[in-house]
């Protein structure tokens, strides 16, 4: 049942301006030290400049425009308080609970948020797994932004969990194929789903790909240039090189056996060959892993799907990277309802609860 409480008429609705001051900060700095987010069981990945609070404010500002929520202003008295419940409308891994708390706090620090589940938990269709109580206007203002983040993150976490389980003993990674502006949010969801993060951006790992190799005049020239650059700049970081043939793998191994190099990982790109019957041939990938023989970490890339990842994971590769974890995400259906009894009735009628 919904619960409506009348409070002081002096409470005013929250309106958002489209103008804002963006301050670069680390993710840790965007979390108010005075708050205790008990739901944060998986911390977000680190990033030197990502402004999580700015992302939240931008999402709220694009919704509010220059007038605020005109429907709320027209229909909801300022002094009404309610309790709204989070409802899972399909099975999956829930993610974005900690981020939801940050959004509610940004809208109205007096809102009270409680959860029966935490990030990374499995939820079943029809489960009420959290609630928020306080001023009705501010709950409704925050609702869509909270759900947009939670549904996307939960979709990513759900697919990641399935892929990570199937990939063992290899580890599943995402890529940089994330929604613009949501890099850290998407990668956080991968961690919640049990995956591992690939490089955060262009700054934290050297990744020599096909275009770098072509411009540098060959794979060895590219590796040499990276070694020289890191030495000149006195930098220490992981270095990965993309290989596309067994000949390139052999070339890299011969060079690194004769010369000290900063190389730490070899990507084995498109060495999983699709077959007409829908299966895949992983013999080339296995051969490459055997050639490397543990000298470097290995990463399989290309033709990675739910159907192929198990077979790839048993070739001996260290990592399997999949852009689909974030670039083709299917949102997990979640709602926030004040009248939960009616919502469940409608959900059962439409097979969504």
Which active-site residues does the annotation give?
Answer: 144, 177, 209, 240, 269
Helix/strand/coil (H/E/C) assignment for every residue in 170-228: CEEECCCCCCCCCHHHHHHHHHHCCCECCCCCCCCCEEECHHHHHHHCCHHHHHHHHHH
Rounded Cα gap, residues 61 and 24, in angstroms: 18
Q: Check if the beta carbon of residue 130 is closer than 8 Å to that of residue 86.
A: yes
User: What's CA 41's distance to the chain center, in Å?
Assistant: 15
Q: Check if the beta carbon of residue 187 is closer than 8 Å to that of residue 174.
A: yes
Q: Which residues pair with 85 in a beta bridge?
A: 131, 337
Rounded Cα gap, residues 102 and 84, in angstroms: 17
3-state DSSP percent of the chain in helix, strand and coil, to 5: 40, 15, 45
Per-residue tokens: 204: 């934290």
Per-residue tokens: 153: 């993150």
Q: Check if the beta carbon of residue 249 is closer than 8 Å to that of residue 268.
A: yes
């Amino acid at each position: 049942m919904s619960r409506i409480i009348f409070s002081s008429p002096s409470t005013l609705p929250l309106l958002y301006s489209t103008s804002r001051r963006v301050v670069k900060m680390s993710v840790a700095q965007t979390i108010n030290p005075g708050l205790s987010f008990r739901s944060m069981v998986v911390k977000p990945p680190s990033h030197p400049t990502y402004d999580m609070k700015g992302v939240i404010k931008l999402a709220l500002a694009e919704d509010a425009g220059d007038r605020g929520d005109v429907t709320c202003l027209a229909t909801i008295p300022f002094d009404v308080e309610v309790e709204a419940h989070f409802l899972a409308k399909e099975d999956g891994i829930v993610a974005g609970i900690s981020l939801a708390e940050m959004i509610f706090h940004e809208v109205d620090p007096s809102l009270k948020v409680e959860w029966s589940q935490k990030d990374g938990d499995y939820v079943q269709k029809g489960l009420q797994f959290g609630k928020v109580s306080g001023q009705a206007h501010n709950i409704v203002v925050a609702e869509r932004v909270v759900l947009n983040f939670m549904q996307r993150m939960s979709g990513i976490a759900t697919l990641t969990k399935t892929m990570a389980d199937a990939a063992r003993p290899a580890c599943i990674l995402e890529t940089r194929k994330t929604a613009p502006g949501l890099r850290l949010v998407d990668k956080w969801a991968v961690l919640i789903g049990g995956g591992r993060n690939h490089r955060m951006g262009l700054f934290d790992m050297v990744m020599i790909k096909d275009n770098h190799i072509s411009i540098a005049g060959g794979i060895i020239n590219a590796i040499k240039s990276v070694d020289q650059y890191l030495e000149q700049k006195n930098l220490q970081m992981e270095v990965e090189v993309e290989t596309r043939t067994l000949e390139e793998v052999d070339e890299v191994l011969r060079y690194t056996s004769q010369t000290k190099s900063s190389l730490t990982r070899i990507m084995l790109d498109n060495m999983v060959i699709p077959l007409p019957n829908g299966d895949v041939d992983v013999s080339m990938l296995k051969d490459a892993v055997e050639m490397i023989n543990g000298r470097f970490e290995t990463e399989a890339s290309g033709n990675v799907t739910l159907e192929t990842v198990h077979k790839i994971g048993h070739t001996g590769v260290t990592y399997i990277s999949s852009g689909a974890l974030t670039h083709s995400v299917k949102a997990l259906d979640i709602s926030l309802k004040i009248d939960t009894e009616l919502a469940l009735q409608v959900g059962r009628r439409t097979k969504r609860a």
